[in-house]
Amino acid sequence: MKLDKPEFKNLFTPELNRLSELFAKYDYELRIAGGAVRDILMGIQPQDLDFATTATPQEMKFMFEKEGVRMLNTKGEDHGTITARINNKENFEVTTLRVDVVTDGRHAEVEFTTDWKIDAERRDLTINSMFLGLDGTLYDYFDGWTDLKNRRVAFVGDATRRIQEDYLRILRYFRFYGRIAEMPNQHEESTLEAIRENAGGLGGISGERIWMELKKIVVGNHAAPLMRCMYSLGLPKYIGKYTFLLLKIWGKLCCVGSRILARIYSPNIWGGGWGNQSEPEFPNGLHQLPGSFACQSIYILSQCLA
């Protein structure tokens, strides 16, 4: 399948054309990867581009140095990422195809490969596992395009294995469900079971990474049903203490506490403040969970923004 969409054509700046010419000159494959492919297929102009290549970091460095291309921030080199600045105008992050050799649920030791399918298999969701050649050819090894058309959110291959590679993928699942799915509660039972069985792994994830996902879930589609689903799977037990600390950021802006948040947003659902009304009823037992202060605040916020 070849794409001829305006969102794809609009990507081709003189800088991207130059990057493409360089990789072709040195006989390395270069493709757009991940979220940008998904967005283009959905008719959304990508804001960020990630590229994948068969060239190793050392091969990319040799190529860019020989061609006089400036490279930025070499911290990603161990994981295969080189950032090139073309014409002193546009930056491009290019990552070598890789396979996870050892994972601990947070980080991975990788080996480089030239096999596109192996790289696609290590990605989280089918809709994020596609590649797009610069000639418009779509490379889809795990039916991500079919899932995207059907508004289906599914892990690549075995859900348990994908989650155990990085437990943050539990929250990424809910975030992308809010972006992609049309109905709020059409999760596949096997996916929910894998999340339930591995929820404890979130306890080892940093609060910053958890918050980056949570705040996107709360303001996305189906926010309230997703929060209820997360609660039913036992997730607040492992993320409550982190959200409690990070909600202080919200507190500086709109006063700390679920009661204050409710008064600010409640006109949408309670007709303005609690006043003499009884407090809203949280899902059974939510107020008893560790970090309940934060869990209640997030739940209220999700209700208001749904």
CATH number at residue 53: 3.30.460.10
Q: Indicate the helix (H) or strand (E) that contains 76.
A: none
The residue ranking higher by pLDDT, 131 or 248, is: 131
**In total, how many domains does the chain have?**
2
C-alpha pair distances (Å), 258 with each of 225, 254, 266: 19, 10, 11
Answer with the one of 117, 150, 183 that is the final residue of a domain: 150
Specify whether 130 is located in the same domain as 207.
no
User: Closest Cα partner for 31 from 99, 121, 95?
Assistant: 95
Q: How confident is the model at residue 240 (pLDDT cuts 50, 70, 90)?
A: low
The answer to pTM > 0.75 is yes
At residue 155, the pLDDT reads 98
Q: What is the pLDDT of residue 143?
A: 96
What pLDDT, on the 0 to 100 scale, is given for residue 104? 58
Say if residue 212 is in the same domain as residue 199: yes
Same domain, 206 and 101: no
pLDDT tens digits, residue range 87-127? 999 999 999 999 877 665 566 678 899 999 999 999 999 99
Q: Which of 150, 178, 207 is the last residue of a domain?
A: 150
Q: Which of 103, 120, 150 is the last residue of a domain?
A: 150
Domain of residue 202 covers 153-306
Place of tokens 């079919």: 146
Residue 10 sits in the same domain as residue 139: yes
| Rounded (10°) angle between helices 292-305 and 258-265 | 10
Shared domain check, 166 and 36:
no
Closest CA relative to residue 16, chosen from 57, 54, 66, 51: 51
Percent of the chain, pLDDT > 70? 75
Q: For residues 48 and 139, what is the distance between their CA atoms, to the nearest angstrom?
A: 19
- Mean per-residue pLDDT over the chain, rounded: 81
| Residue 234 shares a structural domain with residue 253 | yes
Please indicate, yes or no, whether residues 171 and 116 belong to a single structural domain of this protein.
no
Residues 139 and 166 in one domain: no
Query: Do residues 137 and 163 share a domain?
Result: no
Tens digits of per-residue pLDDT, 254-283? 334 444 444 444 444 333 333 343 444 444
